[in-house]
Amino acid sequence: MILEGKIGRIIVEENAIQHLKEEVKRLNPSKVCVVTDKNVGKIWFENIFKEIGLKEVEKFEIDAGEKGKSLNTASRLWKKLIEGKYTRKSLIIALGGGVVGDVTGFVASTFMRGTYFAQIPTTLLAQVDSSIGGKNGINFHGKNMIGTFYQPSFTIVDTKFIETLPENEFLNGIAEIIKYGIIFDRKFFYFIKENIETLKKKESDILQKIVEKCVEMKVEIVVKDEREEGLRRILNFGHTFGHAIEKLSNYRIKHGFAVSIGMVMACKVAEKVTGFKQVNDVKELLEKTGLPTSTKIHIDKIVEEMVRDKKAWYGKIVLILPQEIGKVTIQEVEKDEVLNTLKDGA
């Protein structure tokens, strides 16, 4: 499947990486730099270097994990580009998960006011979510506080990378996949439910089908609301609770795991506020997947953290709440209502 438009060209198909050479050629860049992290670089850089087929491709490695998404990384990369005489006609390729994609996109958008940029996402989360839509950024006095919207020239989504992904990172991505079903597509939700065991085995046909469908959904949402002024906010389903849980656990609970707990919490609030009836369907699927659906962190602490967060004001919390599977609404909910609903545990 090839999607084109203001989101750049997105190629998502089996062995999509074979298109890399022609995509690079089409841009005819003055120089090429592949930004990757230490884990991904070790496994995949040589392969990508061969696929590009140019004699000179530079590699820039960053620390793996959230700490790589820093001003220091951005600054080192800007310096490398300046010293290496990169220009606006050079190409910077992000090869990695959301961390690499976010910091590389940010640098590509700001270096000389924007140079060519491409994404090769290697985590499931990056393939179905972060590499699509043009949001980027670094952590600076808070997560994702500095960033821009900048669309890549091309994005190559190849599920082959998932083979080497650690199990936890795989589950992390499945949480976001389940999220798409709940917010956007009932049929897709029940399709995942039927096929969860096959998906967990990373069976290639099913993985391919699911990744393609998620990319399609994300593109549809982003094209309608690139700047996250309306519809795109539904992608934050489960994330308001999730971010608070992640933070309170000192990031020991991983993003997707926190979002999983957050989705169950949002569903329970929805049960009261919108009359949502399928909390158990959601819980069951998350449990079958191997994702957590509750936490020992006290709900008072979680809500307190949410109120501090940028998405809450005047004691009201803005939540994405399902009305039914596949359909959500954005609503302000009183802090006390959230507390009362969830005080007996999520």
Residues involved in catalysis:
113, 135, 176, 218, 228, 232, 236, 239, 243, 255
The whole-angstrom separation of Cα 65 and Cα 196 is: 27
The CA-atom distances, in angstroms, between 70 and each of 12, 144, 145, 253 are: 29, 9, 11, 20
Of residues 23 and 169, the one with the C-beta less far from ligand NAD: 169
- Provide, rounded to whole angstroms, the least separation between the CB of residue 259 and ligand NAD: 10
Contact footprint for ligand NAD (CB under 6 A):
37, 39-40, 43, 64-66, 69, 96-100, 102, 122-123, 125-126, 129-130, 133, 135-136, 144, 161, 164-165, 169, 172
- The two structure tokens encoding residue 122: 């290697």
CA-nearest of 269, 327, 272, 331 to 303 is 269
CB nearest ligand NAD: which residue?
98
- Provide, rounded to whole angstroms, the least separation between the CB of residue 172 and ligand NAD: 5
Identify whether the C-beta of residue 118 lies closer than 8 Å to the C-beta of residue 124. no
- Provide, rounded to whole angstroms, the least separation between the CB of residue 203 and ligand NAD: 17
Of residues 244 and 273, the one with the C-beta less far from ligand NAD: 244
- Provide, rounded to whole angstroms, the least separation between the CB of residue 295 and ligand NAD: 19
- Provide, rounded to whole angstroms, the least separation between the CB of residue 263 and ligand NAD: 15
Of residues 37 and 212, the one with the C-beta less far from ligand NAD: 37
Of residues 40 and 286, the one with the C-beta less far from ligand NAD: 40
Of residues 29 and 137, the one with the C-beta less far from ligand NAD: 137
- Provide, rounded to whole angstroms, the least separation between the CB of residue 101 and ligand NAD: 6
Of residues 217 and 273, the one with the C-beta less far from ligand NAD: 217
